Amino acid sequence: MLLREIKKEDNPQIAAVIREVFVNEGYPKTGTAFADVQLDFMFEAYQNPKSIYFVVEENGKIIGGAGVNQLDNSTENICELQKMYFLQEARGRGIGMQMIEKCLAKAKEFGYEKCYLETLPVMLNAQKLYTKVGFEYLSEPLGGTGNTSCPVWMIKNLE
């Protein structure tokens, strides 16, 4: 298993992974990452300073990914943990923990003060992971991500 930065040629595979997770789990397709215009251009979407996206590759196949980027429509020094999804075959193996630790380390390196995320209420295993690494629930969203179907908001201080 290899956890590495995304390459341009990974775009079709990581988009397919995210879409497959949404279809298999029955998650809403509107107001979520599924409908994000960046989904087919993930490499390009994370070329800004202070942003990065990682993929998990196993035997030449992308099985998951996650990244951090400046929180949209926010003037604060807050990044967002974005598009953290894994195929079923990647789950339960500690890959999520490795990925989130790598993303948070990079967020600190970029100088962000906090990390924000939005998720679905049914993603209970993800929420357990987030709280385990120090994320806390918020009563309202930050920024303006457009993820109208993700009513669970969490934040973590990085300092």
Could you read off the pLDDT of 103-132 as tens digits, one per residue? Answer: 999 999 999 999 999 999 999 999 999 999
| Unique residue bearing structure tokens 């309202």 | 140
Across the range 55-84, mean pLDDT stands at 95
Across the range 59-88, mean pLDDT stands at 95
User: Using CA atoms, how far apart are residues 112 and 115, in angstroms rounded to an integer?
Assistant: 7
- pLDDT tens digits, 34-63: 888 899 999 999 999 999 999 999 999 999
**Residue 135 to residues 35, 85, 87, 130, 157, Cα–Cα distance (Å):** 25, 17, 23, 5, 8
Q: Look up the pTM and report it.
A: 0.94
The domain over range 2-157 is classified in CATH as 3.40.630.30: yes
User: Using CA atoms, how far apart are residues 40 and 16, in angstroms rounded to an integer?
Assistant: 9
Residue 143: the pLDDT is: 87
